[in-house]
């Protein structure tokens, strides 16, 4: 009797385990393959992330609804771009930053027609340099620690390995092959009348102070007299790779008077922005403002991007379709992009949607009638003109 009860309990336990195994599946792969953390998974490239973000913002699309379907390397163009950044620091935690750029003078194409766009773009990006930038003295040129300047004076006098150049009044310099030129000075915004009054009462007859101009990248400097380019420039070579270019005389100036921007290509832009800010802010600027201006060399890229977008059921564009038409699951949209590289990523400057190309496809009636059966149709007279079909590409 006891043996029968034990056997019965064992059978019931086996039946219970078999039912539990039927509802709970045992996945051996959880033990064989370890779980991979997200930080070790291969991440998608961030090269086009900002461009796709600009497309998303302009079209009000979700990023997960579209992807890049086509980008033809052989049609990509690149060139050097001068980017201007002008920032007004008002001292009350309100900064105004304005960005602009010049048109690219000449475009080039990649020699490798089948390479990777990101790799080719990052190869040409470090080669971007500024064209000739004219700066009028008095200024103090400072170069980055890993760079140096070479100086050419009238009468073929040259100096190399310079870290600092002190440029006196009535001397103009031309900076070539620099990566970036930065200037910091006071602005006309919020100048106090008391300072101007003091300067008129107590004029100073000394040379104007030197404005600091920082240069990034090894560059070549050409110096000449502003009024007489061929005249001799007296120089004073100092220790620690410093040279001073002396003026003919110290002009009568007021030390409290603001010096105009020494960089010619920035002067007109700064005046225009100061006028605009004065008209908007008025008397709200109570303290003197600082000005930080920068000219940066960037590699610009012009290309056409094809986007494949998913069509959702609630898409307003496709809700007006006739019921007999088949609604597609995706659509292709083209965008024209002008962008520059910053920190190995494309920063969009202009993103413009391109209207779809409307093409016309023609076919003769005889080609269409060739595959038709006339066994149950009476004879017809076919027009010799071609049949034209409108096709949206």
Q: Domains of the chain: which residue ranges?
A: 82-298, 359-392
Burial class for 82, CB neighbours closer than 10 Å (0-12, 13-18, 19+)? buried
pLDDT at 42: 47
pLDDT at 181: 95
Q: What does residue 64 show for φ and ψ, rounded to 5 degrees? A: -80, -5
CA distances from 198 to 82, 287, 288, 381 (A): 40, 17, 16, 101
Quote the pTM value: 0.69
Burial class for 37, CB neighbours closer than 10 Å (0-12, 13-18, 19+)? exposed
Do 125 and 254 meet the contact criterion of CB atoms below 8 Å apart? no
pLDDT along the chain (393 residues), means of 10: 63 59 45 45 72 91 88 91 89 80 89 86 88 92 90 90 93 94 81 42 54 92 92 91 87 58 90 86 70 91 91 67 68 91 90 68 48 48 49 50
**10 Å Cβ neighbour count for 311?**
14
pLDDT at 135: 94
pLDDT at 166: 94
∠ CA 59-65-69, nearest 5°, is 90
Rounded Cα distance between 167 and 209, Å, is 11
Rounded Cα distance between 16 and 22, Å, is 10
pLDDT at 382: 46
Do 188 and 258 meet the contact criterion of CB atoms below 8 Å apart? yes
Q: 323's torsion region: left (phi>0), alpha (psi -120 to 50) or beta?
A: alpha
Rounded Cα distance between 10 and 392, Å, is 74
Query: What number of H helices and E strands is found in the chain?
Result: 7, 20
pLDDT at 281: 77
pLDDT at 143: 93
Burial class for 2, CB neighbours closer than 10 Å (0-12, 13-18, 19+)? exposed
């Amino acid at each position: 009797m006891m043996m029968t009860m034990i056997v019965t309990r064992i059978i019931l336990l086996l039946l219970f385990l078999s039912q539990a195994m039927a509802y709970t599946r045992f996945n051996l792969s959880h033990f064989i393959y370890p779980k991979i953390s997200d930080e070790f998974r291969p991440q998608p490239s961030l090269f086009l992330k900002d461009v796709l973000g600009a497309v998303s913002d302009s079209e009000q699309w979700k990023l997960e609804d579209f992807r890049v379907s086509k980008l033809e390397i052989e049609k990509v163009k690149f060139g050097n771009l001068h980017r201007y950044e002008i920032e007004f620091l008002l001292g009350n935690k309100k900064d105004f930053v304005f960005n602009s750029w010049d048109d690219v003078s000449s475009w080039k194409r990649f020699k490798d027609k089948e390479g990777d766009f990101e790799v080719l773009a990052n190869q040409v990006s470090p080669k971007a340099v500024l064209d000739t930038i004219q700066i009028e003295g008095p200024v103090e040129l400072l170069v980055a620690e890993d760079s140096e300047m070479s100086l050419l004076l009238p009468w073929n006098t040259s100096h190399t390995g310079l870290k600092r150049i002190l440029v006196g009044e009535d001397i103009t310099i031309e900076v070539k092959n620099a990566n970036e030129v930065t200037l910091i000075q006071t602005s006309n915004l919020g100048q106090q009348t008391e300072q101007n009054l003091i300067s008129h009462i107590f004029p100073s007859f000394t040379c104007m102070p030197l404005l600091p101009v920082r240069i990034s990248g090894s560059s070549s400097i050409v110096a000449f007299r502003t009024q007489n380019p061929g005249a001799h420039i007296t120089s004073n070579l100092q220790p620690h790779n410093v040279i001073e270019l002396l003026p003919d005389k110290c002009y009568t100036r007021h030390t409290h008077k603001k010096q105009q921007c020494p960089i010619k290509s920035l002067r007109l832009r700064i005046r225009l922005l100061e006028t605009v800010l004065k008209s908007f802010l008025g008397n709200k600027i109570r303290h003197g403002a600082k000005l930080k201006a920068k000219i940066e060399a960037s590699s610009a890229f012009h290309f056409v991007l094809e986007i494949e977008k998913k069509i959702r059921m609630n898409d307003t564009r496709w809700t007006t379709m006739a019921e007999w038409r088949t609604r597609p699951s995706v659509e292709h949209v083209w965008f024209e992009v002008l962008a520059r590289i910053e920190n190995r990523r494309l920063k969009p400057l202009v993103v413009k949607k391109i209207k779809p190309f409307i093409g016309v496809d023609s076919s003769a009636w005889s080609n269409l009638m060739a595959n038709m059966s006339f066994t149950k149709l009476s004879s017809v007279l076919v027009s010799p003109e071609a049949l034209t079909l409108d096709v949206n590409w």
